[in-house]
Amino acid sequence: MKLQELADLLGGTLHGDGSLEFARPLPPVEAGSADLAVAMQPELLGDLGRSPARVGLLANGTEPPEGTLDAWVCVGRPRYALHRLTGALGQEPFVAPGIHPTAVVEPGAEVSPDASLGAFVYVGPRARIGRGARILNHVSIGQDAVIGEDTLLHPGVRVGERVRIGARVIIHSNAALGADGFSFVTPEPGSVEHARSSGSGKVSSFNEHIARIHSLGSVVVGDDVEIGANTCIDKGTLTDTCIGSGTKIDDLVMIGHNVRIGMLCMICGQVGIAGSTVIGNGVVLAGGVGVADHAKIGDHAVVGARSGVMGEIPEKEVWMGYPARPRKETMEIFVYQSKLKALFREVSDFRKAFASFLEDGRGK
């Protein structure tokens, strides 16, 4: 790509010779002489002196150190520029058009002639695969499932019975949509119910038989959703577990039965959301957050990494901690925790000072 093309692509400002070309965009220390040194963060500018690269991509308001780059492009919102740049250079995963000869499509399934099905794909009875969908090798699609237009399923994705996936969705390898919800009941009140209702802190009622509640619902995924590798989204019990359009979900996330997630949320790696919880629009759950069952997180709330959420978080608030509290409170607790040793010592010193004062019968 030529530097002028890069400037056009990113809507950036060209400095120097726009006819210069580059091979790969790389951080300055990894870029070779033919590459584009990407130094949009000011702290990377110093690396340009150690880089053989002759052309670069910088943030507005910055410039390369004297004697480093011959030409460069400056852009306004670096991460958005990265979206455009990587989108222009990214390669699509390979899948041949049409249905691979090894694929198995059960009777009654409808596969759009414009869809691509890779090797060893399995499509169950009455499933429907939309126009332009790309189903890579080793994907399973259960009976009555629906895959929307231009959706991309990576190898090993499992789509359960009756799951409905929208358009332009991307699902990464080995994600499992539509396993049965983890929903059980004991004929008589079991140990958990007992522990909840009893104030004694002791369990005195035991599970002698555990009966399963079957999942009559399924999973519904909106448009433009992305779902990470090995993530699990379980079926609902009576209704469907729902993922709103535009929401992005990372790897190894678990979303329980009946959960409803709104639009344009960001659900980071290893988050776990227990059954029947409702999450609004634009919510951000950082890595490793756990949300209890029947909780409620308001629109545009942000929850910090590894927090444990119970109950309700109001909209637009930033919470964190275990248990999760407003971020400011948790940060205060972290500070106070680190001063506990000093506090215990102070109170102990005090006790002695006061006792000796009382013994003396006077102030000094």
First to last CA, the chain: 83
Residue 279 pairs in a beta bridge with: 261, 297
Of residues 333 through 362, those in contact with a copy of itself by CB under 8 A are 333-334, 336-341, 343-344, 346-347, 350-351, 353-354, 357-358, 360-362
* Bond into 314 cis (ω within 30): no
Q: Does 172 help bind a copy of itself (rule: CB under 8 A)?
A: yes
CA distance 269 to 262: 18
The minimum distance between CB 166 and a copy of itself, in angstroms, equals 15
Q: Does 239 help bind a copy of itself (rule: CB under 8 A)?
A: yes
Of residues 45 through 74, those in contact with a copy of itself by CB under 8 A are none
Of residues 256 through 285, those in contact with a copy of itself by CB under 8 A are 256, 264, 266, 268-270, 272, 274, 282, 284
Burial annotation 71-109 (CB, 10 A radius, 16+ → b, else e) = bbbbbeebeebbeebeeeeeeeeebeeebbeebebeeeb
User: HSE (CB half, 13 Å, CA atoms) of 70?
Assistant: 15
Q: Does 170 help bind a copy of itself (rule: CB under 8 A)?
A: yes
Cβ count near 353 (within 10 Å): 10
The minimum distance between CB 66 and a copy of itself, in angstroms, equals 25
Q: Does 161 help bind a copy of itself (rule: CB under 8 A)?
A: yes
Of residues 173 through 192, those in contact with a copy of itself by CB under 8 A are 173-174, 176, 179-180, 182, 184-188, 191-192
Active site (annotated) includes residue 172? no
Q: Which is nearer to a copy of itself, 20 or 119 (CB)?
A: 119
Q: By CB under 8 A, which span of 11-19, 20-28, 48-56, 61-69 interacts with a copy of itself?
A: 20-28
Of residues 69 through 128, those in contact with a copy of itself by CB under 8 A are 77, 79-80, 82-83, 86-87, 89-91, 93-94, 100, 102, 104, 106, 118-120, 122, 124-125
Helix/strand/coil for 220: strand
Q: By CB under 8 A, which span of 6-14, 48-56, 63-71, 203-211 interacts with a copy of itself?
A: 203-211
Q: Contact 131/146 with Cβ under 8 angstroms?
A: no
Which value, to the nearest 10 degrees, does the dihedral of the CA atoms of residues 272, 275, 276, 280 take? 10
291, amino acid identity: V
Q: By CB under 8 A, which span of 1-9, 11-19, 47-55, 133-141 interacts with a copy of itself?
A: 133-141
Helix/strand/coil for 278: strand
Number of residues that bind a copy of itself (CB under 8 A): 142
Catalytic residues: 257
